[in-house]
Amino acid sequence: MPKAIIAPSLLSGDWAYLARDCNKMIELGADYLHMDVMDGHFVPNLTIGAPVIKSLRKATTGYLDCHLMVSHPEQWVDDFAKAGADGFTFHIEASDDPVALIRRIKSLGMLPGIAVKPGTPISSLETVFAECIDDLHMVLVMTVEPGFGGQSFMVDMMDKVREVRARFPEIYIQVDGGLALDTVDAAAEAGANVIVAGSAVFGAPKPEVVIQGLRVALEKCN
Ligand SMILES: O=C(CO)[C@@H](O)[C@H](O)COP(=O)(O)O
Ligand SMILES: [Fe+2]
């Protein structure tokens, strides 16, 4: 099992103080900074694009884990690489040629991730697994419908996590949506090692307690 990674989602931070919130999360023990990129088309919400990542890159050395909930993710890969993104995770449902995109992401120096919405089975990733598993850094199993923070964790997605972990013991498996101290154990036991948490971290009086609690839950299962 790969190492425990805690990734606060800045969607629940304050966009007016994005750099401050990013650096605060790193100081409080976070490993990744999860940046939710939404285009108002693939999902019914709109957030940020590469220009914000570019500015943020000047203000933090934290790992910028970009989760692209956009149609045609191919269109943005060069811009995100130039902007200084560290990870580029796109949705299988949105891509015509996921294998080519994974290779492109890697060739530009970013770590590639592929995401599945709750209704999408892991079998949709078979071609990716067959053709470029060695290039793939992370599988993101969505545990809510993408688009908004603050939704309820879908525990039935844990079968997908177990399926990926059984086949690929070393791959990073990220879970995203509704993760908190009372839901993390299910994800950790299933084999997830990257926990995204937005409202649970930013809504807590002491975010560092939640970050540490999530880490302890992962490490118990390691
Ligand atoms: O990608 C998404 C939502 O589409 C997430 O990253 C959310 O931002 C997670 O927020 P919480 O469910 O943890 O509040
Ligand atoms: Fe996300």
Residue 222, pLDDT above cutoff 90: no
CA atoms of 85 and 113, how far apart (whole Å): 12
Active site residues: 36, 176
Average pLDDT (143-148) is 98
182 marked among binding-site residues: no
Q: How far, in Å, are 10, 13, 19, 25, 54 from residue 16 at the CA level? A: 11, 9, 9, 15, 16
Determine the distance from the C-alpha atom of residue 106 to the mean position of all C-alpha atoms in its chain, rounded to a whole number: 17
The pLDDT tens digits for 73-126 are 999 999 999 999 999 999 999 999 999 999 999 999 999 999 999 999 999 999
Residue 69 has a pLDDT of 99
Confidence bin at 208 (pLDDT 50/70/90) = very high
Residue 1 has a pLDDT of 86
Average pLDDT, the chain: 98
Residues 211, 218: contact at Cβ < 8 Å?
no
| Nearest alpha carbon to residue 10 among 48, 55, 50, 44 | 48
Residue 35 has a pLDDT of 99
Ligand 1 is surrounded, with C-beta below 6 A, by 9, 11-12, 34, 36, 67, 69, 144, 146-151, 176-179, 196-200
**For 72, left (φ over 0), alpha (ψ -120 to 50), or beta?**
left
Give the DSSP H or E segment for 51: helix 50-59
Which of 6, 138, 148 to probe ligand 1 with, by most ligand atoms within 8 A of CB? 148
Confidence bin at 168 (pLDDT 50/70/90) = very high
pLDDT more than 70, % of the chain: 100
Q: How far, in Å, are 35, 163, 189 from residue 221 at the CA level? A: 26, 16, 6
Q: How much distance in Å is there from the Cα of 10 to the middle of ligand 2?
A: 9
Residue 44, pLDDT above cutoff 90: yes
> How do the domains of the chain map onto residue ranges?
5-221
pLDDT more than 90, % of the chain: 99
Average pLDDT (133-152) is 98
CATH for 5-221, options being 3.40.50.970, 3.40.50.1820, 3.20.20.70, 3.40.30.10: 3.20.20.70
- Longest CA–CA span in the chain (Å) reads 45
User: Helix, strand or coil for residue 204?
Assistant: coil
CA atoms of 12 and 5, how far apart (whole Å): 18
> Which tokens hold the place of 200?
């649970």
Confidence bin at 65 (pLDDT 50/70/90) = very high
CB hemisphere CA count around 14 (13 angstroms): 7
